[in-house]
Amino acid sequence: MEMTQERLRQVRVLDPLSQVDRVADVLIEAGQIVEISAPEERPAQDDIEERDCTGLVLAPGLVDLYSHSDEPGFETRETLASLTASALAGGFTRLTLLPDTLPVLDHGDGLARLQAQLPPDLPLQVQAWGAITQNLEGQQLVEFADLIQAGVVGFSDGCSLQNPMLVRRLCEYLEAESVPIALWPCDPALAGKGVIREGVDALRLGLSEAPTMAETSVLAALLEIVAEIKTPIHIMRVSTARSVDLIKAAKERDLPITASTTWMHVLGNSQSLHTYDVNWRLDPPVGNVSDQEALIQGLEAGIVDAIAIDHHAYTYEEKTVPFSAAPPGAIGLELALPLLWQTLVSTNRWSALTLWEKLSTAPCHCLGQPPPSMQPGQPAEMILFDPQQSWQADAHTLKSLSANTPWQGQTLTGRVLKTWHPHN
């Protein structure tokens, strides 16, 4: 007889929406949560698959705000099959792709092509940002209606927009549309060839400095536009303490903004670059120790809403160059949850609910989507996570085609065991 139901016994249930963290028995049937009840001894039933989940965590699926897809165009780095396998292995049930494929996702038919290339029957929702400007060149706005009709989740070039007038027009055009707009505040002219945040570590390591004002000057101008036009904006890749201050002041003025930083900016700082590991070459660079602490505190206070992954694969050859010449970016979908859990939850800096909110509930809020819920009668969009299981991050275990991560070859603690998705 085929099992139609499964019961997870003695599992730690996390639900950021209701702020519940408790041990319970959970009954699942046909892709739905049927019952969450106090643990109790029950006789085994033939039609229910029982699993002892003592010590395991059952929680909503993770939601990534922005990552890079290398298919179409750069399949030697990552394919959609390897990217989605990485996302599932890392506990993500929703993945949001940036439009910097080849060709760029700046027409509605591009989204249909992307969806057609996805592996069939994925227990994962793959969605995409539509480009803001044609070919991501920052010159001419796309046909927004065409992309909205095609089903993009919102609009982002994923790279900096250098023309403030174009940003103003973007906000005016989309003022009446309820779609997210994600912008990265960065002035490339001010950033120059900087690969490390300005400060003592930059001087000690002899690397080109990226000044804080390369981020904050653009952010300040953007906030002025939002104050005038009131179009909601999501601020990507926040990396400095000064930016956190600017966002805090803007939220106190009730400006319609949300913000995210990336998982590597939470875990690293300029001192992480002391080995010149090219996998710490990011854009924006990780901040100084004070920036890192401001980001963590900003997340705790809700000033910075969410943690994004910004997964960006590169081949071994592309990264085997001097630090300053390396392309910026690192993989992260499979690594973020265990490393953030070990760094923040295992040390009691954060509660498990806080981490889950930043990786699941808050990203949905930024995207204007209902988050996964851990309530009876709701679709089962959730993961089973073992915070104690050790594994080695290497070519045999990682699903990504690329290995550009500082944790390559290291032993990590925490692994996703199973994913449920209503699309199953």
Count of CB atoms situated within 10 Å of the CB of 408: 18
Q: Is the pLDDT of residue 170 over 50?
A: yes
Beta bridge partners of 49: 6
Q: Is the pLDDT of residue 41 over 90?
A: no
Q: Is the pLDDT of residue 42 over 80?
A: no
61-367 CATH? 3.20.20.140
What is the distance of C-alpha 109 from the center of its chain? 25
8-state DSSP, 278: G
Break the chain into its structural domains and give their ranges: 5-58+377-420, 61-367
What does the alpha-carbon distance between residue 98 and residue 73 come to, in Å, rounded to a whole number? 13
Asked whether 403 and 316 are in contact (CB, 8 A), the reply is yes
Please give the average per-residue pLDDT across 149-155, as a whole number. 97
Q: How far is CA 236 from CA 191, 233, 270, in A?
A: 16, 9, 20
Secondary structure class of 416 (helix, strand, coil): strand
Give the whole-number percent of the chain exceeding pLDDT 70.
99
Summarised one tens digit per residue, pLDDT across range 291-313 is 999 999 999 999 999 999 999 99
Write down the residue that tokens 């992309």 correspond to. Answer: 147
Asked whether 81 and 400 are in contact (CB, 8 A), the reply is no
pTM above 0.75, yes or no: yes
Through-space distance between the first and last CA atoms of the chain, rounded to whole angstroms: 20
Q: What residues contact residue 275 under an 8 Å CB cut-off, 6+ apart?
A: none
What does the alpha-carbon distance between residue 174 and residue 176 come to, in Å, rounded to a whole number? 5
What does the alpha-carbon distance between residue 4 and residue 291 come to, in Å, rounded to a whole number? 50
Beta bridge partners of 258: 234
- CA–CA–CA angle 269, 271, 276 (5° rounding): 110
8-state DSSP, 360: I
What does the alpha-carbon distance between residue 118 and residue 80 come to, in Å, rounded to a whole number? 6
Write down the residue that tokens 């010159």 correspond to. Answer: 139
What does the alpha-carbon distance between residue 190 and residue 215 come to, in Å, rounded to a whole number? 9
Q: Is the pLDDT of residue 3 over 60?
A: no
Beta bridge partners of 392: 411
Which fold does the domain 5-58+377-420 belong to in CATH?
A: Urease, subunit C; domain 1 (2.30.40)
Q: Is the pLDDT of residue 252 over 80?
A: yes
What does the alpha-carbon distance between residue 288 and residue 270 come to, in Å, rounded to a whole number? 5
8-state DSSP, 345: I
Query: Which of 64, 201, 291, 310 does the annotation list as catalytic?
Result: 310
Summarised one tens digit per residue, pLDDT across range 316-331 is 999 999 999 999 999 9
What is the three-state SS of 123-170? CCEEEEEECCEHHHCCCCECCHHHHHHHCCCEECCCCCCCCHHHHHHH
Read off the amino acid at residue 85: A
Read off the amino acid at residue 420: W
Summarised one tens digit per residue, pLDDT across range 7-35 is 999 999 999 999 999 999 999 998 999 99
What does the alpha-carbon distance between residue 249 and residue 255 come to, in Å, rounded to a whole number? 9
Beta bridge partners of 261: 307
- CA–CA–CA angle 251, 256, 258 (5° rounding): 75
Annotated catalytic, 310? yes
Give the whole-number percent of the chain exceeding pLDDT 90.
95
Pairing of β 154-155 and β 209-210: unpaired
What does the alpha-carbon distance between residue 148 and residue 155 come to, in Å, rounded to a whole number? 9
Q: Is the pLDDT of residue 221 over 50?
A: yes
What does the alpha-carbon distance between residue 148 and residue 179 come to, in Å, rounded to a whole number? 8
